[in-house]
Chain A
Amino acid sequence: MSLAPPNFPDLKTDQVESYLHPSVSVPEGLNNNVLVTTIDRLYNWSRRSSMWPLLFGLACCAIEMIATASSRFDLSRFGMEVMRPSPRQSDLMIVSGTVTKKMVPAIVRIYNQMAEPRYVIAMGACATGGGPFKEGYNVVSGIDKYVPVDVYIPGCPPTPEALMFGLMKMHQKVDTQSVTTADWYKREGSAFVPVPHLGPDIFDPRQADLIRAETMSGEAVAADTGGDRAEGGVPGGLRNLGEKAKARIAQAKERAAARLAG
């Protein structure tokens, strides 16, 4: 059998310590008796320790999610044993599996129905970015095209450990939020995501203008983008990449060049 996995960093640092208020010092002898904290910390601690996930499975990844919830990995250690079938009672949606176009309107509706503050985890390669089925005509390449995602977990399927690591990341994210700046306490609340419609293909009302501009332009759009090939070119290329991505790719190239030279 193999050796143990490498010692990953201590993710779960001392529970209490991280909630102590940094700028208020407690006299030496009272360390164990007085706890100075802020509303945010207390509030976030209680929120993250009892997240209620939505009982919501889409595909293969859902099976691993059930395995994570069952006796061997036991999600109740994270305060998550109650998976609610109703979106009204839950605040965490684990999108576990391939998102198809036919399913997206339902997912967006469910998302809008969830109680705020609501969080979304994209579990698995499919929910993250389309996964192995990305090229499929009925597959959405990542649920983040429609609803905002907080944590992405790659893997096909993510093992229960990977899922739990993702949940801990989720906790980290909750910890960074503050009552004063949170969307859901603002007067206007946070916005609903408009539900996409199933037309000749799925379309997002937010992009209606863009789509109209293209379809009405007189050229057949996106019908066959294999065209570049015929001219001997390579499709794609570094178009539309974010600055960060370009910088990272440039760095990687430099590193590689340095290695080749050295």
Chain B
Amino acid sequence: MFGTGLLKGLGITFKHLVDTYKDDIQSTPARYQGSDDRGKGLKVIDQPVDQEGLLTIQYPEERRLLPERFRYIPMLIWDTETDEERCTACGICAKVCPPQCIWITRATDEAGKPVTRPQDFFIDATICMSCNYCVEFCPFDAIKMDHDAELASFERFPHLVYDKGELTVPLDYYAALWPTQYAEEQERRAQEAAEARAKEEAKAARAAVKKEEEEAPAPEAKLSRAEELKQKAMERARQRREAQS
């Protein structure tokens, strides 16, 4: 019969409308299952897959839970354990970058000899295609993907060309954003370091007996330090944004 299709369509739309409220009423107060209230009214929403429909994310009060692998613009790692940057200016990231938006100048010492540290490191965010290649092929775990997508600015140049100072973040900021990968990486690095050390030790043992002096800091102390550094990183991110606006 003519008209049934229209009625059915209206019915389905009406059902959608009712369902929205039904869902709200049923799951209040725990509407946002898996959400994490971090104070300041900032909620992170992780919608369970079996919750019907889609939850509207009321940005900026609420945010979507970003998966660990989320990538936006790269950042450079400042290794807080050794207190120096990890980048060795090897240039691999600049080589693999598809739109060629990385510029690196290798630093030189007083004698003018190149050293394995970058003097300048620029990423042009108006070109970067967030492809992840720089991260994927960096042999020193020195460049990682930031989750901070809130980069809008009133000016394009030079504000969106990030220099080394703006790109560098402490290691613990990265550890907080990428916990799984960070753990794997630490394991691998520790193993590599152990291998290197074993080699060294063997060598040292042959020459003369030498005592290992490594004393790892207590885990609790380290944890709080990590927390502290994370705060610092966030503070930096905030400043960066304020400086921009």
Docked-complex contact B163 and A252, CB < 8 angstroms: yes
Chain B residues near A158 (CB, 8 Å)?
Answer: 149
Q: State which of A71, A150, A244, A256 has its C-beta within 8 Å of the C-beta of B164.
A: A256
Shortest distance in angstroms between B233's beta carbon and chain A's nearest beta carbon?
Answer: 7
Docked-complex contact B156 and A155, CB < 8 angstroms: no
B130 at the interface (CB under 8 A from A): yes
Docked-complex contact A173 and B154, CB < 8 angstroms: yes
Docked-complex contact A3 and B176, CB < 8 angstroms: yes
B120 at the interface (CB under 8 A from A): yes
Chain B residues near A248 (CB, 8 Å)?
Answer: 158, 163
Docked-complex contact B163 and A161, CB < 8 angstroms: no
Q: Which of A1-47 contact B (CB under 8 A)?
A: 1-12
Docked-complex contact B63 and A161, CB < 8 angstroms: yes
Docked-complex contact B154 and A144, CB < 8 angstroms: no
Chain A residues near B163 (CB, 8 Å)?
Answer: 248-249, 252
A105 at the interface (CB under 8 A from B): no
- Size of A's binding interface in residues, CB under 8 A: 63
Chain A residues near B180 (CB, 8 Å)?
Answer: 2
Q: How many A-B residue pairs have CB under 8 A?
A: 196
**Chain B, interface SS category:** loop
Docked-complex contact A151 and B126, CB < 8 angstroms: no
Docked-complex contact A245 and B67, CB < 8 angstroms: no
Shortest distance in angstroms between A262's beta carbon and chain B's nearest beta carbon?
Answer: 9
Q: How far is the CA of A155 from the CA of B149 in the complex (A)?
A: 8
Chain A residues near B155 (CB, 8 Å)?
Answer: 152
Docked-complex contact B44 and A4, CB < 8 angstroms: yes
Chain B residues near A142 (CB, 8 Å)?
Answer: 126, 156
Q: State which of B58, B59, B119, B152 has its C-beta within 8 Å of the C-beta of A153.
A: B152
Chain B residues near A138 (CB, 8 Å)?
Answer: none
Shortest distance in angstroms between B243's beta carbon and chain A's nearest beta carbon?
Answer: 10
Q: State which of A4, A71, A168, A252 has its C-beta within 8 Å of the C-beta of B36.
A: A4
Q: How far is the CA of A218 from the CA of B46 in the complex (A)?
A: 64
Docked-complex contact A245 and B157, CB < 8 angstroms: yes
Q: State which of B70, B115, B164 has its C-beta within 8 Å of the C-beta of A252.
A: B164
Docked-complex contact A169 and B154, CB < 8 angstroms: yes
Shortest distance in angstroms between B153's beta carbon and chain A's nearest beta carbon?
Answer: 6
- What 1/0 flags go to A134-152 for Cβ under 8 Å of B? 1100000010100001111
Q: Which of B21-29, B49-57, B198-206, B212-220 participates in binding chain A?
A: B49-57
Q: A1-B68, A9-B242, A74-B56 are in contact. Are A125 and B158 (CB under 8 A)?
A: no
B32 at the interface (CB under 8 A from A): no
Q: How far is the CA of A5 from the CA of B179 in the complex (A)?
A: 13
- What 1/0 flags go to A144-182 for Cβ under 8 Å of B? 100001111111101111101110110011000000000
Q: How far is the CA of A164 from the CA of B151 in the complex (A)?
A: 11
Docked-complex contact B158 and A149, CB < 8 angstroms: no
Closest residue on chain A to residue B55 by CB atoms: A72
B92 at the interface (CB under 8 A from A): no
Q: How far is the CA of A152 from the CA of B160 in the complex (A)?
A: 9
Q: A1-B65, A2-B66, A155-B151 are in contact. Are A242 and B85 (CB under 8 A)?
A: no
29 A-B contact pairs sorted by A residue (CB < 8 Å): A2-B180, A3-B179, A6-B176, A8-B60, A8-B148, A12-B61, A71-B54, A77-B58, A125-B129, A128-B126, A131-B99, A131-B126, A132-B128, A133-B99, A142-B156, A154-B73, A155-B72, A155-B73, A156-B128, A160-B59, A162-B152, A164-B60, A165-B59, A165-B149, A165-B152, A172-B245, A245-B157, A249-B120, A253-B119
